[in-house]
Structure 1
Amino acid sequence: MTAQFIGYARVSSTGQSLDIQEAMLTEAGCRPIFAEKKSGRRASDREELARAIAHAREGDTLIVTRLDRLARSVIDLHQIIATLTEKGVAFRALQQSGIDTSTSAGKLLLTMLGAVAEFEADIRAERQKDGIEAAKAKGVYKGRPASIDAAAIQSALAAGETPAAVAKRLNIARSTVYRLKDAAPV
């Protein structure tokens, strides 16, 4: 069996397009290409990545367009690369041409850029948290509006409806009914 270039494409949200990544991977000779719309924070949540790794055989190369498409944490990155290495599968990032795990320099660059990618993700999360805190301090940020009306639950229970019936009618967990039954009115 001849070695394959296996492509993996990922975007974080359903509103984003995979088209550019898939075109680059196709141009690089990748067949097949595994693609998904999932957050890159944890590799364990990405089924198509798992399928791509399972599909890879000794001598194959897993290719992504950029390193951050594969992993956002150094731990995930090293675990993925260790799994690929154990299988005899190389890894390459098209837009970071120095990343090629078949070379020592490529392995070093991979580790350094993986740390930078994780740092960037952490900084972005910190900025978002700081922005939310500042908005809360100004009274602008109220959070997500409540999707469940505690008063409606309380009145249904007061009218004699059972917690199980309320939960079923509102399509919520029974534990939510119990949690909100004595809550202060919103």
Structure 2
Amino acid sequence: MTRIGYARVSSADQGLDIQTGKLKAEGCEIIRSEKVSGASRVGRTELATIIEFLRPGDEMVVTRLDRLGRDTRDVLNVIHDCEQRQASVMVLDPLVSTRGEMGHIVLTVLGMVAQMERRFIKERQREGIEQARAQGRYKGGKRRLDRDQIRQLSLGGLTNSAIAQQMGCSRMQVYRVLTKHDPIDL
């Protein structure tokens, strides 16, 4: 049996050291980590690699359930994918494993709690933004693109692809600016 650790943080400025330290202390022979949102499985290549690598009897270990995901369906799908490979999932805090039937029930409930917590966080954030707007303290996020420059480059004859490459953004962002579908410009 191989114990494979999975560590994840949501943003690039967060550290993985605490999680990887706990996973090493737990005896994980392999530890994969990534800095990506847990809101969905999109873009989580390290998690996909672990699931693909799992062999019968292996165990994927995470420090907390929310490291697998913030959506109950995603968490249950990850667990299901592991079990399809005849492997198990262990969460260290609280200590729960899918090796037993009770573990499935506990992980389902914990997944639901993680999803509910995410919804509460978003709601509090939305309320805070509305309150700050009402008080005139919130001006919105910092613009990352110079929209006037994009429009000038387009008028100069550059293609959307060339503009995107020059500006360091996607063609879709250029398209949104040029067609006035940019949410900030509405």
How far 1:18 sits from its partner (Å)? Answer: 0.6
- Give the total of aligned pairs: 175
The equivalent residue for 1:29 is 27
TM-score, normalising length: structure 2: 0.83
Note the aligned Cα RMSD (angstroms). 2.6
1:36-75 aligned within 5 A: 36-75=34-73
Deviations 1:136-176 (A, max 9, x none): 2222211124432438846984xxx3354994796365635
How far 1:129 sits from its partner (Å)? Answer: 1.1
- 4+ long deviations beyond 6 Å: none
Percent identical across equivalent pairs? 37
- Matching residue's letter, 1:93: V
Classify 1:164/1:177 alpha carbon distance in 2 versus 1 (closer, same or farther; 3 Å).
farther
Rounded Cα–Cα distance in structure 1 between residues aligned with 2:149 and 2:7? 46
1:122-137 aligned within 5 A: 122-137=119-134
Structure 2: tracts of 5 or more residues without a match: 181-186
SS in 2 for 1:44: coil
Match of 1:79 among 77, 80, 99: 77
Kept in 2, the 8 Å contact 1:62–1:92? The answer is yes
The equivalent residue for 2:157 is 162
Greater gyration radius: 1
Deviations 1:6-57 (A, max 9, x none): 1000111111111111111111110111111111111232111011111111
How far 1:134 sits from its partner (Å)? Answer: 1.5
- Matching residue's letter, 1:148: D
Classify 1:176/1:162 alpha carbon distance in 2 versus 1 (closer, same or farther; 3 Å).
farther
Rounded Cα–Cα distance in structure 1 between residues aligned with 2:154 and 2:54? 56
SS in 2 for 1:150: helix
- Matching residue's letter, 2:106: L
Deviations 1:111-143 (A, max 9, x none): 111100110011001111111111122222111
TM-score, normalising length: structure 1: 0.83
SS in 1 for 2:97: coil
Classify 1:139/1:112 alpha carbon distance in 2 versus 1 (closer, same or farther; 3 Å).
same
Rounded Cα–Cα distance in structure 2 between residues aligned with 1:164 and 1:131? 40
- 1:102 aligned to 2:94? no
